[in-house]
Amino acid sequence: MIPTDLPLILSPEQLEAELDRPDIVLVDLCKPEVFAQAHLPRAVHLDYKQIVRVQKPVMGLLPPADDFAAVLATVGATPDKFIVAYDDEGGGRAARFLWTLDVAGHQHYALLDGGIHAWAAQNRPLTSETYAPAHGHYDVCFGEQGVADRDYILARLHDPAVQLLDTRTAEEYNGTKKLAQRAGHIPGAVNFNWTDALDLNNQLLLRDSTELRDTFNTLGITGDKEIIVYCQSHHRSAHTYILLKQLGYRRIRGYPGAWSDWGNQADTPIE
């Protein structure tokens, strides 16, 4: 039976208590060399390049549905599994995988808080053995839930019920660091560097949830609005998407392609 009482972001302690459940699928999105050295028992490695599509200069687009279905089959995922993802960078890659699951309509998933860093620092079980799960079967059909493309955003730029949240660095946001043909940010967007949600001095675990809610409220990220998160490709902002869901926000969308799409257009408005 799928565990439905678990939070969207699991502490290492919570996950360790569930490790023996046969209905849990563990997906590791660490660098290959990190995975080879040590990973969670029964975790299956997944290369980040397998879950995003590149159409240069645009990065981080949704993969073809059939390709993502094949990825899910490889890790042993089925619609009735509880999927837990983690990585070695604070959760960005893992969260992008989970966001894609969300867009595909998967109901049961979680992010490991702190990823492999917190897990290892707390001396929780690790292995270097390779685990080969039985192949699953998953018919993937991407819906509109959780997704905002360029046209969707352009149609809502002046809608007070919609708030854009730019999760890049301050330098990218204000245009002093240029990673596309044009620099700056989408008009009306507020800035929250995604790593500001992490306690960089404490195993990359999330900061206190009350502090995070207060920070978002100060920025105008409130529950009465639809929140659209973006970064350079919707890698970093996927982590903020999962975080906001955990904090109780219900109307959130991610922008696949993000600034690599918006900033490489000749006619999109920029601040």
Catalytic (active-site) positions = 231
Dig out the tokens for 262 from the structure. 């918006």
Name the amino acid, one letter, at 259.
Answer: W
Name the amino acid, one letter, at 251.
Answer: R
Residues 49, 66 contacting (CB under 8 angstroms): no
The CA distances from residue 56 to 53, 65, 217, 233, in Å, are 10, 19, 36, 11
* 162 backbone dihedrals φ, ψ, rounded to 5°: -120, 130
Spatial CB neighbours of 87, under 8 Å, sequence gap ≥ 6: 28, 29, 30, 93, 94, 115, 116
Q: Does 256 sit behind a cis peptide bond, omega within 30 degrees of 0 on the bond before it?
A: no
